[in-house]
Structure 1
Amino acid sequence: MTLRTSHHDGRQVLESGRVTLREQLPADCAQLAEGKPAELVWIDGIPGEGTMSAASMTVQADAAGVFQPAWGVFAIQRSEDGMAIGGIGFHGPPTDGVAEIGYDLSVSARGAGWATDALLALAEWALTRPGVRVLLATTEPDNIPSQRVLERAGFLRVADHGNLRAFELAGPAT
């Protein structure tokens, strides 16, 4: 699938097939962190817990003066109608060539490949950014569906990070 990138209202927007990833700015994240829709229409009415938690991380980074645009939260939207079905993004900007990625789907959107599509799009974009060599994702050991999403997106299991299963996707060799 072709990844199209653009900016709209000061936000990074990534479009790939049936998913659109729309960056959420710190003001949006402040609303999402409180479980408010942040001007999005959510399939289950409100964002999921993982999206709210990630939005809190972006709010904290902004308050600390370390927020970097495009290295926070993106809403996952169905391209056909703009319905928000989850969140995906980074735990912050890359460090030593590694960017940590996470995602969350609304309950009603699970099991239909949306997370895989969103992860493929964000990974393609991230691995073209300067200074990014590897994407890292971790899951709870019993979160088999998330581990399958990572595997379908090409991530490979690496050594555990504490009690979490870790997966990495390396960019093209340079």
Structure 2
Amino acid sequence: MSFPDLTTDRLVLRPWPAEEAAAAVAGERRPHWASGFPGEADRMIAGLLTREPERPHGHYLMIERETGLTIGAIGLKWPPTDGSVEFGYGVVPSRRCRGYTTEAVRALVAFARTVPGVAEVFATVDPANVPSVRVLEKAGLRRDDVVASDEGTLHRYVAG
């Protein structure tokens, strides 16, 4: 499966190219990366992508259309399991509280729901992470479960 660019009013979500993932893992700085990108979680995801570059993945760079800067990442935990696919995201501190993450979540969820075999799109979040909870709710997801994980008790949000 190939993943297309997803364009919103202010963002382009572009599948992570292998060379960008390798640069993140190597600790290199690219001129088109906003300050703070990649973060620790981004480097972890980039590491997964570099270990299996030929395997399809659903990870995207969040690119601010106005500046061309990569301001974060969002991705599907591919492939789906029993018709369900989870997603996660992060944005650099300088671009938080601007609605970018909500915009990206809406676009990614809308795309994922068109993929054959995907019946459910969801995210899990620590309930103490109030900004992330607000992002999911603004994007139209609803809390449907509480799940235990290595990180503690998380709330599960599902696209409606």
Partner Cα distance (1:16, 1:40) in 2: 23
Task: Check the 8 A contact 2:3/2:58 in 1, yes or no.
Answer: no
Structure 1: 5+ residue runs without aligned partners?
A: 1-9
Partner Cα distance (1:101, 1:40) in 2: 27
Q: Which residue of 2 aligns with 1:5?
A: none
Task: Check the 8 A contact 1:43/1:109 in 2, yes or no.
Answer: no
Q: Which residue of 2 aligns with 1:7?
A: none
Over aligned residue pairs, what C-alpha RMSD do you find? 2.0
Q: How many residues align?
A: 155
Find 1:159's aligned residue among 140, 145, 153: 145
Q: Which residue of 2 aligns with 1:51?
A: 42
Partner Cα distance (1:11, 1:30) in 2: 19
Alignment of 1:1-174 (within 5 A): 12-37=4-29, 39=30, 41-44=32-35, 46-60=37-51, 62=52, 67-68=55-56, 71-162=57-148, 163-170=153-160
Give 1:83 shift: 1.0
- Name the amino acid aligned to 1:15: T
Task: Check the 8 A contact 1:55/1:73 in 2, yes or no.
Answer: no
TM-score by length of structure 1 reads 0.80
Give 1:45 shift: 5.2
- Name the amino acid aligned to 2:154: L
Q: Secondary structure of the equivalent of 2:21?
A: helix
Q: Secondary structure of the equivalent of 1:74?
A: strand
Q: Secondary structure of the equivalent of 2:66?
A: coil
Partner Cα distance (1:138, 1:34) in 2: 29
**Range moving further from structure 2, 43-52 or 128-137:** 43-52
Q: Secondary structure of the equivalent of 2:47?
A: helix
Q: Structure 1 residues 79 and 159 mapped into 2: Cα distance closer, same or farther (>3 Å)? A: same
